[in-house]
C-alpha cells in the first residue's frame, strides 16, 4: 500500500469510530479483517496515523475548520508529520486508491492554520472541554501545556530485569536498536521510534524472549521503585493485572520473601505466570478470587508492603491510548473514585504495623489522587503520608523528588515534567 492508500484507510477507520462510536483498537482490527490484502506493516502505519489524528483531534479541528475524519487525517499529516500540502495534493491525485486531493479551502487551512492563537485551553491541550475544570485543579494555568504533552507520541521504554542482568548487558544486546538510558529510572532503556511513531518489534528480540527486558514505561518503573520492595519482605500487589509491577517488585526482592499477586478479575492475571517464568521470578503466589471467598484474610497485618495500583481513568496514559480521552465521561470518573476508595479499604488491613501502603494511579486528576488519599487518611488515622522527598531518597532516587506534587506529600509525574506517562504515587506508613 502507498502512503496515500494509508491515508484513505485511516479516514475509513476514523469514520467507523465516529459513526458507530467504536473504540479505536476494535475499529482498526475490523478494518484489517475486512482488508486482508493489507500486510502487518500497512496495518501498523494506518494505526499510527489514526492515533496521531486522535491525539490532536481538537487542535487539528481548530486549525482545519472542521472535525471530519478527512480533516483530521489531513491535519495529522501536515501538523504532526510535517507533510507538504502541495506534495499531498500530487500524491493523492496520482493514485486511484487515495483520498480526493485537498480542496482550495483545505490547502489554505493546511498552509495557514499552524497557529492556535486565541484557542481555548482545551483546544490547545487537546482534551475534552468538560475536563478543563479538573485539569485546572491539577495544573492551573499550565493545563493546556500539560495536555499538549499528553497528546504527543509516547516513547518505547524497557525495564531491565535485575534477576537476569544489568543495564549495560541489555544495552549490548539491543545495540542495533540504539537504546539510551532513561533519565530517572536506573533500570530503564528508551528505544527510538520511527518517523511515523512506530517502535521496533522488541518482543521478538532475544533479550526480551530470555527475560532480560520487559516493556514498561519509565513512570511505571519509578512507581515500583518508590514502593521499594526489599529482599525477604512480604508484599501484596493488590491490583496486579497482567503483572508488570509485580515483576518489577520481585526483581527488587531478589527472589526472596514472598509477593502475592491479586486482582479482582482473574482474567487479567492470566499472562503473569508465563511472564514470571520468562523473567526468572520464583517468589510469587497467585491469590485469585474464588467465588465470594476472602483469599487475603490470612494476610491481615502481615504485609510489609501493599501496592495499590488502583483502577483509574488512565488520564496519564493518553499518549498511548488517545481514543480514551475522547470516550471518557464524567460518570466514569465518579465510578473510578468509588472503586479507588474501595481498593484502599481492602488494602489497609493487610499492612502490618510499621509497614507501608503505596497508592498508584496512571492519572493526573486530583479527584483520583490527592482527594482519595485525603479521604483515606480521614478514615484511617493510623496511617500517615510519607513526604515525597523522603520516599524518593529512601528508594535511592533523590532526583525523582523534584517531581513532588504541590503539597509535597506524593509524586506527580507527567510527560511535560518528567518525560514519562502521567503517574501519581503516594506512600503511606502505618504507625
Domain ranges for the chain, please list them. Answer: 3-114, 156-215, 218-430
Give me the residues of the chain with pLDDT under 70, please: 113-114, 291-293
pLDDT at 292: 62
Report d(CA 368, CA 360) in Å as an integer: 10
- From 8, 10, 121, 362, active-site residue: 362
pLDDT at 196: 79
Q: Give the homologous superfamily in CATH for domain 218-430.
A: Vaccinia Virus protein VP39 (3.40.50.150)
Q: Which residues contact residue 119 at a Cβ distance below 8 angstroms, ignoring those fewer than 6 apart?
A: 59, 62
Report d(CA 301, CA 427) in Å as an integer: 17
pLDDT at 95: 80
pLDDT at 327: 94
Report d(CA 187, CA 221) in Å as an integer: 8
Given a contact cutoff of 8 angstroms between Cβ atoms, the answer to whether 355 and 305 are in contact is: yes
- Residue 100 CB neighbour total at 10 angstroms: 11
User: 132: left (phi > 0), else alpha (psi -120 to 50), else beta?
Assistant: alpha
According to DSSP, the residues that pair with 237 across neighbouring strands are: 261, 307
Residue by residue, DSSP assigns 86-144 as: HHHHHHHHT-SSSPPPPPHHHHHHHHH----TT--HHHHTTS-GGGHHHHHHHHGGGHH
* pLDDT tens track for 157-193: 999 999 999 999 999 999 999 999 999 999 999 999 9
* pTM (two decimals): 0.95
Measured in whole angstroms, the distance separating CA 128 from the mean position of its chain's CA atoms is 18
156-215: what fold? Alpha-Beta Plaits (3.30.70)
| Residue 312 annotated as catalytic | no
User: Known binder of ligand: residue 371?
Assistant: no
User: Known binder of ligand: residue 166?
Assistant: no
- Coil vs helix vs strand at 306: strand
pLDDT at 112: 82
Q: Which residues contact residue 163 at a Cβ distance below 8 angstroms, ignoring those fewer than 6 apart?
A: 211, 250, 251, 254, 255, 279, 280, 281
Amino acid at each position: 500500500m502507498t502512503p496515500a492508500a494509508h491515508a484513505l484507510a485511516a479516514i475509513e477507520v476514523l469514520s467507523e469510530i465516529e459513526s458507530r462510536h467504536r473504540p479505536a483498537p476494535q475499529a482498526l482490527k475490523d478494518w484489517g479483517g475486512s482488508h486482508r490484502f493489507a500486510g502487518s506493516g500497512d496495518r501498523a502505519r494506518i494505526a499510527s496515523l489514526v492515533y496521531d489524528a486522535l491525539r490532536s483531534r481538537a487542535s487539528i479541528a481548530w486549525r482545519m475548520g472542521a472535525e471530519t475524519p478527512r480533516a483530521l487525517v489531513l491535519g495529522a499529516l501536515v501538523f504532526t508529520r510535517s507533510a507538504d500540502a502541495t506534495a499531498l495534493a500530487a500524491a493523492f491525485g496520482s493514485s486511484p486508491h487515495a483520498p480526493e486531493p485537498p480542496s482550495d479551502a483545505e490547502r489554505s487551512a493546511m498552509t495557514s492554520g499552524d497557529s492556535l492563537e486565541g484557542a481555548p485551553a482545551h483546544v490547545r491541550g487537546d482534551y475534552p472541554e468538560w475536563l478543563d475544570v479538573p485539569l485546572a485543579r491539577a495544573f492551573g494555568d499550565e493545563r493546556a501545556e500539560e495536555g499538549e504533552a499528553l497528546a504527543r507520541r509516547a516513547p518505547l521504554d524497557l525495564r531491565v530485569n535485575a534477576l537476569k542482568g544489568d543495564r549495560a548487558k541489555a544495552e549490548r544486546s539491543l545495540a542495533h536498536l540504539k537504546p539510551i538510558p532513561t533519565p530517572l529510572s536506573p533500570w530503564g532503556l528508551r528505544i527510538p521510534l520511527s518517523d511515523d511513531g512506530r517502535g521496533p518489534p522488541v518482543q521478538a528480540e532475544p533479550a526480551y524472549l530470555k527475560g532480560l527486558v520487559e516493556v514498561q514505561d519509565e513512570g511505571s518503573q519509578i512507581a515500583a521503585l518508590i514502593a521499594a520492595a526489599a529482599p525477604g519482605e512480604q508484599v501484596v500487589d493488590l491490583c496486579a493485572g497482567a503483572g508488570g509491577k509485580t515483576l518489577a517488585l520481585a526483581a527488587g526482592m531478589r527472589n526472596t520473601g514472598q509477593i502475592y499477586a491479586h486482582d479482582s478479575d482473574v482474567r487479567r492475571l492470566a499472562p503473569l505466570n508465563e511472564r514470571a517464568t520468562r523473567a526468572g521470578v520464583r517468589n510469587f503466589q497467585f491469590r485469585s478470587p474464588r467465588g465470594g471467598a476472602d483469599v487475603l484474610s490470612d494476610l491481615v497485618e502481615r504485609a510489609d508492603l501493599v501496592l495499590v495500583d488502583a483502577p483509574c481513568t488512565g488520564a496519564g496514559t493518553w499518549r498511548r491510548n488517545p481514543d480514551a480521552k475522547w470516550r471518557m465521561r464524567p460518570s466514569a470518573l465518579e465510578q473510578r473514585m468509588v472503586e479507588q476508595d474501595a481498593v484502599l479499604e481492602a488494602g489497609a488491613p493487610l499492612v502490618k504495623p510499621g509497614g507501608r501502603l503505596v497508592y498508584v494511579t496512571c492519572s493526573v486528576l486530583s479527584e483520583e489522587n490527592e482527594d482519595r488519599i485525603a479521604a483515606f487518611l480521614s478514615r484511617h488515622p493510623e496511617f500517615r503520608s510519607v513526604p515525597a522527598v523522603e520516599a524518593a531518597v529512601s528508594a535511592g532516587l533523590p532526583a525523582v523528588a523534584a517531581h513532588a506534587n504541590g503539597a509535597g506529600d506524593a509524586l506527580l509525574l507527567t510527560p511535560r515534567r518528567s518525560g514519562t506517562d502521567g503517574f501519581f504515587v503516594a506512600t503511606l506508613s502505618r504507625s
